[in-house]
Amino acid sequence: MIQDIAPHQFHNEYQPRDPQSGDIIFSYSGNEALLKPDHTFFRYEDIHTHHDYQYLFRIDDTAFYLSDLSDLESIQMGFRFCRSYEPRMLGFACITGYQLYLWYQENQYCGKDGTRMIPDTKERAMKCPVCGNIIYPRINPAVIVAVINDQNQILVTKYAHGPYQKYALVAGYTEIGETIEETVTREVKEETGLSVTDLKYYKSQPWSFSSTLLFGFSCHVHGDCTVKLQTDELRLGEWKDPQDEIDSMDTASLTSEMIRQFKEGKLK
């Protein structure tokens, strides 16, 4: 998955330092990243004009920063490239940096009194210098669900909207006041009309494309497995056998890994 960058070590503790040679500078415009014309990322030594830098995190000994590099010669890349960028740790760093970029962009002013927020010096947070209001990066909990029936088939779906039109699994965000397990049963029922049991946790994944922390579950539907789609969310829902072709795009996502695990007989 995209966060699997071993042997590299991701250090997200907030320990800012001044940038130095070899450090990487991310810059974003809308929903695109700015790269050098040779499709590599800007490093501190590439930049010869004055810029402000916001510390993000480290991978190994390389620090990553956020800055506005729109005055430099660059190309703009949509974020789908992060899913397959090599080395993988830079694709993971770029999309994680984008999650923080959006958070900074969306929290420039205090929601209580309208004062311009400033970065806190002790932790990764934005702080109001007048009322002391503190805002931390937002993380949205959500589930990815592998629904399996009595015939050992998996339910795959395709979204009704959006650019991603490969096979996916049932998914959805956690609502106020419910557990992750309750999210699983509610989302499956809402999107497919199926009632599921035997929930089994698989693993989690940070998914910075949507500022989400994904929780993967498998579960079972007994008896009647007629799918009744919530058509404003899904345009397709069908059962697949392990030997069937299921194109889930790449190795970046929890969805793809869970589908592979099912096809290999490792997800029951």
8-state DSSP, 110: -
Q: Given this model, what pLDDT does residue 248 score? A: 67
Assigned domain for 217 exists: yes
* Domain end point (choices 106, 122, 156): 106
Assigned domain for 225 exists: yes
User: Can you tell me the distance from the alpha carbon of 162 to that of 170, in angstroms, rounded to the nearest whole number?
Assistant: 15
Q: Specify whether 92 is located in the same domain as 162.
A: no
Question: Smallest Cα–Cα separation from 244: which of 153, 164, 159, 166?
Answer: 153
- Ramachandran assignment for 99, one of left (phi > 0), alpha (psi -120 to 50 degrees), beta (any other): alpha
Q: Specify whether 163 is located in the same domain as 253.
A: yes
The number of distinct structural domains making up the chain is: 2
Q: 92 and 5 in contact (C-beta within 8 Å)?
A: yes
Please give the structure tokens belonging to residue 35.
Answer: 């790269």
CB atoms within 10 A of CB 43: 16
Q: Specify whether 53 is located in the same domain as 145.
A: no
Q: 97 and 53 in contact (C-beta within 8 Å)?
A: no
- Residues 59-107 pLDDT 10s: 999 999 999 999 999 999 998 899 999 999 999 999 999 999 999 999 9
Please give the structure tokens belonging to residue 261.
Answer: 């695990």
Assigned domain for 68 exists: yes
Assigned domain for 58 exists: yes
Question: Smallest Cα–Cα separation from 166: which of 84, 256, 249, 252?
Answer: 249
Assigned domain for 231 exists: yes
CB atoms within 10 A of CB 33: 24
* Domain end point (choices 81, 106, 131): 106
φ, ψ for residue 35, nearest 5 deg: -120, 165
Assigned domain for 135 exists: no
Long-range contact list for 38-42, CB < 8 A, 24+ apart? 39/75, 39/77, 41/90, 41/94, 42/69, 42/72, 42/74
User: Can you tell me the distance from the alpha carbon of 71 to that of 89, in angstroms, rounded to the nearest whole number?
Assistant: 26
Please give the structure tokens belonging to residue 153.
Answer: 């088939």
Q: Specify whether 144 is located in the same domain as 257.
A: yes
Range of the domain at 22: 10-106
Assigned domain for 113 exists: no
8-state DSSP, 140: E
Q: Specify whether 88 is located in the same domain as 197.
A: no
Residues of the chain predicted below pLDDT 70: 248-249
Assigned domain for 214 exists: yes
The CATH number of the domain where 152 resides is what? 3.90.79.10
